[in-house]
Amino acid sequence: MAAAVYLVLLLLAAIFAPLVATHDPAELAVGKPFSGPAAAHWLGTDDLGRDLWSRLVYGARVSMKTGLQIIVLALAASVPVGLFSGYRGGKVDNVIMRIMDALSSVPALVLALAIVGVLGPGLTNASIAIAIAVTPGFVRFVRGQTLAVRQETFVEASHSLGTRERTILRKRILPNVASPLIVTVALASGAVLIAESGLSLLGLGSQPPESSWGSMLQRGYQVILTHPWQVIVPGTALALTVLAFNLLGDGLRDALGLGVPKAVGLRGRLGLTTVAPRPDLAPEAPATDGPAPLLTVSGLTVEFVTEAGPVTVVDDVGFSVAPGEVLGIVGESGSGKSVTSLSIMRLIPSPPGRIVRGSVVFDGRDLLTLPFAEMRKVRGNDISMVFQDPMTSLNPAYTVGNLLGEAVRLHQDVNRAGARARALELLELVGIPDPKRRLDDYPHQLSGGMRQRVLIAMALSSRPRLLIADEPTTALDVTVQAQILDLLRSLQAEFGMAIIFVTHDLGVVADLCDRVLVMYAGQVVEQASVTDLFERPRHPYTQGLLRAMPQVAGRSERLVAIRGTVPPPTALPAGCRFHPRCDHATDACRAEPVELLVRGDRPVRCVLSEELVP
């Protein structure tokens, strides 16, 4: 904004230079030579006693006019060529691009110098030279945009309607190329201005009596040892103007929505979710009574801070896991199950996420109050995690042996050789064939299933007491899914660790879990043992999930998908969050939010749960 105002003022000053200047810029000895800034001469005078302010204003006139000429010249050459090249494609495009390659393989300044060198010095020749030097960049840009726009449907439609090519280019493609081009031009303007000043500074651009900022710099440089002010004035003007053009370009790009969206400013720590209790929520007292489970999550509430304000994505979630128990968390995408599982080890990035309420008590300690150094000792050691996407969860820059060895050495006091031996054992444990050779492979050399095995091996490196598996089979194909599930089951039997298994697949739950937590739209809607859940689902959402399951519905019945989709956390319905998709919804369901209460034999979030039991 400030940049635009500055540029407008500068432009006005350049146009109305005679009104803005206090003196004739060429008049000699209007003041004493080299006098400093004063009331009579705002910026002082130069070596010949000429008024610097007036010279600066008239210099702006020359610099801006030249800059404009160069841009117009370059656009006139590059827009038609770029449009043509991108639209036509094929051989023509190839030849044009090779020529542009050749042009841009000469450094821009050198190219401009060589051209000025043969044409002779002078502002016009310098302008031509700079225009030629910036043309390849413009051509490439216009061509790229054209290529992208050409493939869009509205252009193809005009084509099939038989619209003439020139009309398509002018009416359809050019307007779409124009707005990103404006940004590029604004950003190039600064560079053009610098180039012109540079050539003038070398005495190859503007010649006396016409004087641009560059030639003021040239004069000033000759007396820099005694009168540095003479270069500071034009140099600062030039730098400010270039800065203004750059900021204008950035601003335009943002305004046109072409840039990267800005992250919401929020304080946070790298690698550890912020815990910031919200004063309007009653604090949750950590559960301490009863037989000590391994993990107790209570009242967990997680917000994401967005530009529109905070959005609650996990709302008052509580559950516990006993040693050696396998707990399933199920729900559709967007139910908050992944965020819940990531919150346990505080792996939600802050910003945008933060935990605003609740406690996560593991082995008697609330993980949400631990300092980073303590949290690190828990991660990968007491609690480990296996993620959904094995293709992107392994660092591509390191070998399997390196990554596994690191996981070992983070929590165990072994040397490099010991870690490698342990890494080999771990690979054998997770059933990777030829483990010795695999140690020196990079992740990209392994299949998805193999990578997930490596990730499981990393997670098991310190014999954790709790393994959190966040949809570990979703990204894999069916046969591999079964293998990974078998592996997890046998490892659980071998080591007796507890597992939290996050999935949207009830079949997997039936296979693997002891107990199940059903989540919907950020809330727990039902909690039950696997047998109870499958035999007598109480929440209509659970019932819907079961009806959509081929194993349960059987061959004779039709599979019924739940109509509609999970509402986004920004647009939750009033009352029961499930009611718009529920076949049994009543006015009561629409009026009031429903609490998670023990109804019958288990906690359920539905007022009709007792009537609906099948």
Going by the DSSP 8-state scheme, the letter that residue 443 receives in this structure is G
Rounded Cα–Cα distance for residues 251 and 259 (Å) = 9
Going by the DSSP 8-state scheme, the letter that residue 282 receives in this structure is P
Rounded Cα–Cα distance for residues 272 and 260 (Å) = 24
Binding residues for other proteins, total number by CB under 8 A: 85
* By CB under 8 A, residue 276 contacts other proteins: no
* By CB under 8 A, residue 356 contacts other proteins: no
**520 has which bridge partners?**
523
Going by the DSSP 8-state scheme, the letter that residue 173 receives in this structure is I
* By CB under 8 A, residue 108 contacts other proteins: yes
Contact (Cβ atoms closer than 8 angstroms) between residue 355 and residue 274: yes
CA 258, distance to chain mean position in Å, is 14
Token pair 């894999």 is found at 476
Q: Coil, strand or helix: which one is 503? A: strand
Using CB atoms within 10 Å of the CB of residue 504, give its burial: 0 to 12 exposed, 13 to 18 middle, 19+ buried.
Answer: middle
Site string for other proteins, 63-102 (x = CB under 8 A): -----------------------------------xx-xx
Cβ 270 to other proteins shortest distance, Å: 6
Token pair 């990079």 is found at 442
User: Per CB under 8 A, which region of 239-247, 306-314, 412-420, 538-546 contacts other proteins?
Assistant: 239-247
In angstroms, what CA-CA distances link 248 with 5, 62, 134, 263, 327? 10, 21, 19, 20, 55
* By CB under 8 A, residue 4 contacts other proteins: no
Cβ 465 to other proteins shortest distance, Å: 14
> Residue from 444, 479, 571, 598 that binds other proteins (CB under 8 A)?
444
Q: Which is nearer to other proteins, 226 or 415 (CB)?
A: 226
* By CB under 8 A, residue 267 contacts other proteins: yes
Q: Which is nearer to other proteins, 49 or 268 (CB)?
A: 268
> Residue from 180, 198, 331, 522 that binds other proteins (CB under 8 A)?
198
* By CB under 8 A, residue 114 contacts other proteins: yes
Supply 232's token pair. 């500071």
Q: Which residues ranging from 485 to 544 are in contact with other proteins (CB under 8 A)?
A: none
Token pair 């009242």 is found at 299
Using CB atoms within 10 Å of the CB of residue 543, give its burial: 0 to 12 exposed, 13 to 18 middle, 19+ buried.
Answer: buried
Q: Which residues ranging from 358 to 387 are in contact with other proteins (CB under 8 A)?
A: 372, 376-381, 384-385, 387
Q: Which is nearer to other proteins, 442 or 495 (CB)?
A: 442
Q: Coil, strand or helix: which one is 425? A: helix
Q: Which residues ranging from 327 to 346 are in contact with other proteins (CB under 8 A)?
A: 345
Rounded Cα–Cα distance for residues 511 and 328 (Å) = 10
Q: Which residues ranging from 535 to 594 are in contact with other proteins (CB under 8 A)?
A: none
User: Per CB under 8 A, which region of 140-148, 267-275, 332-340, 582-590 contacts other proteins?
Assistant: 267-275
In angstroms, what CA-CA distances link 465 with 11, 109, 500, 508? 70, 64, 11, 21
Q: Which is nearer to other proteins, 113 or 508 (CB)?
A: 113
* By CB under 8 A, residue 421 contacts other proteins: no
> Residue from 197, 335, 473, 492 that binds other proteins (CB under 8 A)?
197
Q: Which residues ranging from 448 to 487 are in contact with other proteins (CB under 8 A)?
A: 455, 458
Q: Which is nearer to other proteins, 166 or 262 (CB)?
A: 262
Q: Which is nearer to other proteins, 65 or 376 (CB)?
A: 376
CA 425, distance to chain mean position in Å, is 38
> Residue from 144, 277, 349, 593 that binds other proteins (CB under 8 A)?
349
User: Per CB under 8 A, which region of 230-238, 326-334, 413-421, 538-546 contacts other proteins?
Assistant: 230-238
Q: Which is nearer to other proteins, 135 or 523 (CB)?
A: 135
Helices (H) and strands (E) in the chain, counts: 25, 13
